[in-house]
Amino acid sequence: MSAQQIEDGFENLVFEGSDGGPSVAVRFEEDSVWMTQAQMAQVFEIGTNTVSDHLSKIFTSGELEKGATIRKIRIPRNEGGRVVARELNHYNLDAIIAVGYRVSSRRGTRFRQWATHVLRNRLQKDFERKNAQAGAQLTEMQHVLSLARDALVQAADDGRLDLSDEARGVIDVIDRYARSFTLLLQYDEDRLPDGSEGLQDGEQEEMVELTIEMARETVVEFKRSRAELGEDTPLLGQERGHGLEGVLGAIEQTFGGFPLYPTVAQRAANLLYFIVKDHPFSDGNKRLGSLLFLQYLAINDRLVRHDGRMLIEDNALVAIALLVAESNPAQRELVVRLILGLLDSGDEK
């Protein structure tokens, strides 16, 4: 449908309608397609005066703001055997589509389909490229940080550098919480992981299901342990209707024959979220949600990292449960992605 030629900062794309009409070279830059009035006339097979009239009405009616849709672009042209660069008005995709809707032709429909396909592909490729670059930069940053830490500490131990206790403390904090800084950067750039990285469509990790019987046994054991400390209450762990069964069913559900949550981390994170927010128990939802979250990780051999450290520390678990409890339900996806970011320690078994 299109050929392309990459130039300085932009692409030249060729619209080739399937109806035998003329091919038209158009400019793709800054996530939009740009055309002159003459190019629009070629694409829609109408006169340039007609294009000009349509644009005038579009701007006069306030449908589009003229200044936001036009930019002058210097284009080299052959005039009398000489190549002359002239600035020509180019109109962005909003203006082009607006003209196209006023043109009753198959070419207009064909162009809208072509533009939608081009933009979707270009934006997807751009996102993948930026995401890959950012991931490589984060890995490199953490590696450099680790090397710098080791070099500074070694220099101090060798007596080549007078490193104060305070400086050592700062280095330790930066090193220990480097993952937190990475998560904050990913949050700022809207690049938090969704937990399914590395899986193909329709694939899922092998995992052990948390059954209703297992969950209830865990709740009973938790109540017993709280009773020994004098912290049990009649409502603690008391199920409200079929709420707990509903939550466990929700994390195991499929859509179109494929698992909605194909990884252990995704199911554990959503399990915690649903229990804390949906209140399947009369009391203790944050505590029991956290406990069942840990149990799901444990039965799937994900709670302890290969070096023996816990994947989630107790203070982090408290913070997560409180975050879920206080969050706006409209932010569910963001909150779950934050939990997944904490689970994605980069140090899995």
- The span from the CA of 269 to the CA of 263, in Å, is 10
80 — alpha (psi -120 to 50), left (phi > 0) or beta? left
Token couple for 60: 């006069």
What value does the mean pLDDT of the chain take? 76
Token couple for 141: 């940053």
pTM (two decimals): 0.50
pLDDT value at 181 more than 60: no
Weakest-pLDDT range from 202-206, 211-215, 283-287, 289-293: 202-206
pLDDT score for 42: 84
- The span from the CA of 278 to the CA of 243, in Å, is 8
pLDDT score for 3: 35
- The span from the CA of 54 to the CA of 41, in Å, is 11
In this structure, the strands spanning 70-79 and 32-34 are unpaired
Residue with tokens 């703001």: 65
- The span from the CA of 250 to the CA of 210, in Å, is 12
Write b or e for each residue in 215-245: b if 16 or more Cβ atoms lie within 10 A of its Cβ, otherwise e. Answer: beebbeebbeebeeeeebeeebbeeeeebbe
CA 35, 39, 41, 45 torsion-angle sign: negative
Q: What is 212-343's CATH topology?
A: Four Helix Bundle (Hemerythrin (Met), subunit A) (1.20.120)
- Cα–Cα distances (Å) from 213 to 192, 216, 218, 245, 264, in that order, read 34, 5, 9, 10, 19
Helices assigned H by DSSP within the chain: 37-44, 48-60, 66-69, 93-101, 106-157, 165-176, 178-188, 212-228, 243-251, 264-278, 285-299, 314-326, 332-343
Crossing angle of helices 332-343/314-326, nearest 10°? 170
| Beta sheet of 24-29, edge-to-edge order | 4-7, 10-15, 24-29, 32-34
pLDDT value at 8 more than 50: no
pLDDT score for 49: 92
Tell me the range of 5-14, 73-82, 139-148, 268-277 where mean pLDDT is highest.
Answer: 268-277
Residue 13 and residue 118 in contact, taking contact as beta carbons nearer than 8 Å = yes
Residue 260 and residue 269 in contact, taking contact as beta carbons nearer than 8 Å = no
- The span from the CA of 349 to the CA of 336, in Å, is 22
- Going from N- to C-terminal start, the domains of the chain cover 4-125, 130-188, 212-343
* Mean of pLDDT values over 285-313: 88
* Mean of pLDDT values over 173-190: 57
